[in-house]
Amino acid sequence: MNYLAPFLAVAIGYVIARLFQKKGIRQMPIILAFSGSFLLSVTLFHLLPEVFTIPSKEIGLYIMSGILLQIILDFFSKGAEHGHVHLHSDTGSFPWLLFISLSIHALLEGFPLANNQSMLIGVIIHKIPIAIILALFFNKANYHKVTIIIFLLLFGLMTPLGSLLSTELELLREYETPINAVAIGVFLHVSTTILFESSKDHKFNLAKLLSIILGVVVAYFV
């Protein structure tokens, strides 16, 4: 289940994007705000306490490197991990930079899921809207359908691959805590960016606020 679910999340995102590709999805900012608040909350409630069983400055350093890593990945993905895609796609060729940076991100996401059911749900909720946005963008940019499917298929496999590596490789299991701390940094960067960018105009939006609060409450109990 831990392997299949993150892959299915991408597949579900693709199907939703196909269904709504003409009309678009007007509620996307609200869905994104919920997913961001949910991901941030499960990270704070269910993953952060695990790496800090012993207070340590070193763990903080690993978390910080996760944030820095995501900042660097952002230069290449232009924000696709948190909900918007900008690509100069006049060539229509395979978007390698976007693919590689998204894959590194998704691979890392897989590590803490192997033994953490709450994080698994958090990442699924985070992946569905991201997959929708990617698929909608590719469709609009007139990518070939096969290219889109190959991209999303490989992208969808990265998180299960991360989980698999973390359980199967003895060496990685030894470094479970530092790797999870790096993943925390990645989650913190992505989820807070989603939240900040979902209120770009700083206008009060009750629906958005409620969806953020709902994300916190649900994450507390999963």
CB of 16 to Zn ion, least distance (A): 17
- Burial code of 69-86, b = ≥16 C-beta within 10 A, e = fewer? bbeebbebbebbbbbebe
CB of 83 to Zn ion, least distance (A): 7
For residue 4, count CB atoms less than 10 angstroms from its CB and return exposed for 0-12, middle for 13-18, buried for 19 or more: exposed
CB of 53 to Zn ion, least distance (A): 25
How is residue 184 written in tokens? 């925390």
Q: Site size for Zn ion, by CB under 5 A?
A: 2
79 binds Zn ion (CB under 5 A): yes
Quick one: 53 or 215, whose CB is closer to Zn ion?
Answer: 215
Structure-derived torsion over alpha carbons of residues 129, 136, 185, 181, reported in degrees to the nearest 10: 70
Quick one: 73 or 148, whose CB is closer to Zn ion?
Answer: 73
CB of 196 to Zn ion, least distance (A): 8
CB of 156 to Zn ion, least distance (A): 12
- CA distance to 45, 114, 166, 177, per residue, from 173 (Å): 22, 11, 6, 9
67 binds Zn ion (CB under 5 A): no
CB of 192 to Zn ion, least distance (A): 11
Q: How far apart are CA 166 and CA 174, in angstroms?
A: 9
76 binds Zn ion (CB under 5 A): no
Quick one: 57 or 200, whose CB is closer to Zn ion?
Answer: 200
> What are the percentages of helix, strand and coil residues in the chain, rounded to 5?
80, 0, 20
Q: How far apart are CA 38 and CA 128, in angstroms?
A: 13
User: Is the separation of the CB atoms in 38 and 126 below 8 Å?
Assistant: yes
60 binds Zn ion (CB under 5 A): no
Q: Which residue in the shown chain puts its C-beta closest to Zn ion?
A: 79
Quick one: 79 or 178, whose CB is closer to Zn ion?
Answer: 79
Quick one: 81 or 161, whose CB is closer to Zn ion?
Answer: 81
Quick one: 148 or 158, whose CB is closer to Zn ion?
Answer: 158
Q: What is the enclosing helix (H) or strand (E) of 27? A: none
5 binds Zn ion (CB under 5 A): no
Residue-wise DSSP of 131-153:
HHHHHHHHHHTT--HHHHHHHHH
CB of 104 to Zn ion, least distance (A): 11
The footprint of Zn ion (CB under 5 A) covers 79, 81
